[in-house]
Structure 1
């Protein structure tokens, strides 16, 4: 690699940087103070989560990447751009939406973009373009990627089953649960490979930037850094099951499971980087500066006063959104300890039942109710959890609120899908799940949400409806509705739930509306 020759800057440019850098640093500091809860939430995840521990080194790496650009930056005179305040305001609004909808990732991404857009406000677009990659690399500091876990787990389970069958090992699978002659295995969160994927993409993106200069090669290597860990995780899962099978479950269990997995992943990633380095593009030699002439600055040096005005303006625009969030937070509803009682359900009678031994793993609700009903020998269960005054720690839609956890020792999810039902005389799309429980019992489960009068089974729409409701001053009252029934020998569970849903619609809707009226 050719060593870059530092090119001297003009006295005017150097003077401008001596004013602009303190102004930029102060603007960053004040914004981080304004959004300290969001920043601290990110930092706390870096510390406690192995998946996102890389966030601790992203800010230092960003500073190092900026330092590498110092020769190019010396040629540019910082000049503020007030047009960038529009983008900064947009990022601030996105942060507000993330807060009112309790979407941590949206709030955290928005904070990073606020910091990014402060750069063109204070230093100008030429400087921002020069620092485009280092600034965008900060986005890797956001703990983001858990949403891929269910699909990655599904793919890993399917590939493991395929590999075992191709090897000649009989396997019985239900969802993420596998049974082979020597034992049973489950694909849980740690087997999803999301840790490998996030680590590979972060390091792979940095490697592509430092190793290549053409956009095509950079994008190709980033794409490879996404594909390789996914496929490698499939091989890792298959390898671990095979090691356990061939060793009589003496190897690849317990701690060995994780150690072998990381060793295998490390070898694959090292091979990927070694192969990628064979097509590296060395930096072009920098032109030697002529000692007899002074290179001009690219932009006109801004006055000290105008730079500070731009920095103050960026902080003021950013501060509007925490202020707006506090105003919306004051418009909370009254506390809630119990929901309105359910009215009688036509044709269905309340009955004590073993169905209530299963309870959805939803928490942090303001109130809930669960009951079983009987009609002509058919049983059906109903679970309602009502949410009010949600925040980032207490919310209805989160990775912690599920029908059943993957490590549940009694219940397991074995199938899932969607279907349209009739509820309160209107069609509703619901999520369907089949659970296997103790003694071989199977439950058919339907789940969807209610958000201030809107029905949906989509987590994304729940967040959108919640944000819209809060921004218009209507609060965030929401509820999750879960209906369940035994599958039965003839598989009549869906038919039983369809009849129960039609009958229970008016009672459930009335209970939700009456509870909303107590706001």
Structure 2
């Protein structure tokens, strides 16, 4: 055998390739440190996202298993992917500006797979496509779906109860039967089941299936199956309460039933996977990748230099944003209300955190008590539009319907009709961001971010007005409430600092 034949295939993983990969990992940790820390806090605190702690180690393990299909000595950097890296960095800047942790987390856990793709090139990145994709499960996202899942669960469970002729009356998320009343609360949305099922479904499809069609079908099943299963669980709880005169399936019982049912759902999901997956005789072993060239050290330096320069520029941008958020004079508090008011006990109570100032009071309007609640978040003091802030406690109230009303300056104001077991309330609200009024929280948040990035943001506030009503006089009260909004709108807005 000649020397040429002996030296034909280069070594699989060169020292330069390993160093380049480690450099990208270190840069990622340093630049996106704030996104990593805030994500870790959520992983540790929320039971829904405890699984995220294992995602990065699992991805690293799957990539290690693919080491025979990779060659760090023969990378072909794809510089076009830097565009995606820049997009992730921009999204992180937006999240940093507006305090939107969701944007920060999406950017953090998309930048890492993009940067690995950039370094390895298309051919090798394709071989570890799932481990790179799996990193996205680090993003603590999904709780935004809770209201939708609550509605779907309530719809499906009511339909099932009607099938077995159980007398029911539904008001929003409350389901009432002759024996008692049930609330499809956040814990009943099945969000934990839903997210865990998708993660397990993706893992099972990757580890046990090769066909793209089979994998896609099983992932779709893992998305739909927990939604239907959770509706069956709620149906079973209500039916049990009906048949046992509320002796069972109430209190802690339904939580215990929930965990037992969840275990059963996962077993059924895996059993479906066993039916769908290929038989062992149908599996095709993966061929190892044989590198046919060696990447020069100058190519490694060029690739690492490009992403390092990009990250230095991004880091400087982030520092400017942080300076903009922390700079400024001492903020003003809310102004005194210019309408006669008094503090009166009310059964409606919003929940806001980290605000700089708030005013809570009541006033009379044509013999009706109007409850007012205003919060103020000046620049650098907390986050107004946040999932942690609630206009009403969802353990006490549920949204039944909503409609729009017009303000004197032509703005559309949102009015929600919320209910509980004892009463119904009208709740009107609007956001005030740097003098601009909006009743849409997403529009308000985007405008706030826009103002911050222009260096023109001063503060954001929210006004909520609520009035108790009864179904017998609801239409009349709606007209009165709309009239009050038009009459008091400009006067109430004077509570915000100039």
For normalisation by structure 1, the TM-score amounts to 0.86
Shift of 1:389: 2.9
Q: Does 1:455 align with 2:450?
A: no
Classify the secondary structure of the residue corresponding to 2:466: strand
Q: 1:237 to 1:335 in 2, by over 3 A?
A: farther
Aligned match of 1:490: 473
Q: How many residues end up aligned between the 2 structures?
A: 486
* Residues in 2 aligned to 1:164 and 1:476: alpha-carbon distance in whole angstroms: 52
Q: Does 1:502 align with 2:495?
A: no
* Residues in 2 aligned to 1:297 and 1:135: alpha-carbon distance in whole angstroms: 21
- Contact 1:176–1:188 (Cα < 8 Å) also in 2: yes
- After superposition, residues 284-363 of structure 1 pair within 5 angstroms as 284-286=284-286, 297=291, 300-332=293-325, 333-336=328-331, 338-343=333-338, 350-352=340-342, 354=344, 356=346, 358-363=348-353
Q: Does 1:171 align with 2:194?
A: no
Aligned match of 1:12: 10
* Residues in 2 aligned to 1:196 and 1:375: alpha-carbon distance in whole angstroms: 47
* Residues in 2 aligned to 1:192 and 1:343: alpha-carbon distance in whole angstroms: 43
For normalisation by structure 2, the TM-score amounts to 0.89
* Residues in 1 aligned to 2:122 and 2:243: alpha-carbon distance in whole angstroms: 61
Shift of 1:414: 4.9
Q: 1:375 to 1:270 in 2, by over 3 A?
A: closer
- Contact 2:12–2:72 (Cα < 8 Å) also in 1: no
Shift of 1:9: 10
Q: Deviations over 1:346-382 (max 9, x none)?
A: xxxx243746553322232211223333343344333
Shift of 1:244: 3.4
- After superposition, residues 94-493 of structure 1 pair within 5 angstroms as 94-281=91-278, 282-286=282-286, 297=291, 300-332=293-325, 333-336=328-331, 338-343=333-338, 350-352=340-342, 354=344, 356=346, 358-390=348-380, 394-408=382-396, 412-419=397-404, 421-436=405-420, 440-475=422-457, 477-488=459-470, 489-491=472-474, 492-493=476-477
Q: What 5-or-longer segments of structure 2 have no aligned partner? A: 1-5
Q: 1:284 to 1:433 in 2, by over 3 A?
A: same
Higher RCO (Cα < 8 Å, 6 or more apart): 1
Q: Deviations over 1:70-94 (max 9, x none)?
A: 2221498113333332221111111
* Residues in 2 aligned to 1:10 and 1:223: alpha-carbon distance in whole angstroms: 46
Aligned match of 1:4: none
- Contact 2:74–2:294 (Cα < 8 Å) also in 1: yes
Q: 1:296 to 1:400 in 2, by over 3 A?
A: closer
* Residues in 2 aligned to 1:319 and 1:245: alpha-carbon distance in whole angstroms: 64
* Residues in 2 aligned to 1:414 and 1:285: alpha-carbon distance in whole angstroms: 54
Shift of 1:174: 2.2
Q: What 5-or-longer segments of structure 1 have no aligned partner? A: 1-7, 290-294, 345-349
Classify the secondary structure of the residue corresponding to 1:46: helix
* Residues in 2 aligned to 1:308 and 1:435: alpha-carbon distance in whole angstroms: 63
* Residues in 2 aligned to 1:454 and 1:481: alpha-carbon distance in whole angstroms: 13
Q: 1:484 to 1:9 in 2, by over 3 A?
A: farther
Greater Cα offset, 330-339 or 63-72: 330-339
